[in-house]
């Protein structure tokens, strides 16, 4: 686990960048602090840009930085699911979280790093699964983005997902409409993804889910939640290269004087 000062050093020096494929002005942002407290950033400002997000990260030194899968007309109103309709969802992405933990529950983790808690063998399996899921999603939506979580897996984003392809929109209960659309598409993706653990797809149905912001710090591992690119980009990269590129030193310094150097040494 990184210290608060190390986390602040990263956010002071990094130029946070997130692809314009994500409509950040309509996202709901939350951070998890080092003492496991969740803070809703939109209660301070209803629209948050990357510069403002960086300032909040310097202030709070978060363990994780999250954003919503849905886009919201009023991000500051997002709360519990039964009250979320008043925040007015206006679209959003479809996401599958391919986590090696559900793939390798009985694995002996011989390749695990004692410092980062990352098993390269498990992560390699997660990579292959993410590629296969990406191929399935691409049969229906061409705009795919892959993000390394900075820990045990990958997020497969269907950026051009459309609720209207799978259900009728109910203006009286828009959250339910988004849930039904995701359920219908998830059912199809899971049926075409042979050999997958169904745990991968349970959260994909939830329209209220939050995921790590690309290029934010995963303070538990000391690695960056890194934007990979499309499905082919993920397929063409080795796991070691992905992990190496996720080290914060490469993003803010480019060479030595690493943040949490001892934490990364086992991966070199």
**pLDDT for position 60:** 97
Q: What is the distance between the alpha carbons of residues 28 and 48, in angstroms, rounded to a whole number? A: 9
Burial degree of 35 (CB within 10 A; 0-12, 13-18, 19+): exposed
Reading the block at residue 48, the tokens are: 């948050």
Which fold is adopted by the domain 4-254?
Answer: DNA primase, PRIM domain (3.90.920)
Q: Which residues contact 114 (CB under 8 A, 6 or more apart)?
A: 266
Q: Yes or no: say if 20 and 217 are a contact pair by the CB < 8 Å rule.
A: no
> CA torsion 152→30→55→265, rounded to 10°?
-10
Q: What is the pTM of this model?
A: 0.88
Collapsing DSSP states into helix, strand and coil, what is residue 155?
A: strand
**pLDDT for position 135:** 95
**pLDDT for position 262:** 30
**pLDDT for position 249:** 75
- Residue ranges of domains in the chain: 4-254
**pLDDT for position 110:** 52
Mean pLDDT, contiguous 10-residue spans, the chain (268 residues):
93 90 96 97 94 97 98 95 92 91 55 60 90 95 96 95 97 96 94 73 92 96 95 96 88 46 32
Element of type H or E holding 264? helix 261-264
């Amino acid at each position: 686990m990184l210290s608060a000062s190390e986390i602040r050093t990263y956010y002071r020096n990094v130029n946070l960048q997130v692809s314009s494929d994500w409509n950040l002005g309509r996202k709901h942002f939350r951070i998890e602090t080092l003492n496991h407290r969740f803070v809703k950033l939109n209660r301070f400002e209803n629209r948050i840009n990357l510069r403002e997000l960086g300032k909040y990260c310097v202030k709070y030194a978060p363990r994780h930085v999250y954003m919503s899968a849905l886009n919201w007309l009023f991000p500051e109103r997002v709360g519990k699911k039964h009250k979320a309709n008043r925040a007015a969802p206006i679209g959003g992405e479809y996401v599958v979280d391919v986590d090696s933990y559900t793939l390798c529950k009985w694995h002996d983790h011989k390749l695990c790093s004692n410092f980062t808690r990352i098993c390269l063998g498990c992560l390699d399996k997660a990579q292959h699964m993410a590629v296969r899921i990406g191929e399935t999603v691409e049969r229906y939506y061409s705009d795919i983005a892959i993000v390394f979580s900075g820990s045990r897996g990958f997020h497969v984003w269907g950026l051009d997902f459309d609720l209207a392809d799978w259900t009728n929109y109910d203006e009286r209960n828009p959250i339910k409409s988004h849930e039904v659309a995701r359920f219908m598409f998830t059912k199809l993706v899971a049926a075409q993804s042979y050999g997958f653990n169904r745990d991968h797809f349970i959260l994909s149905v939830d329209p209220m889910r939050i995921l790590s912001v690309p290029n934010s710090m995963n303070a538990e591992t000391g690695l960056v939640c890194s934007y990979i690119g499309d499905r082919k980009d993920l397929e063409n990269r080795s796991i070691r290269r992905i992990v190496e590129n996720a080290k914060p030193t490469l993003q803010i310094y480019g060479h030595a004087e690493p943040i949490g150097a001892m934490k990364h040494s086992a991966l070199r």
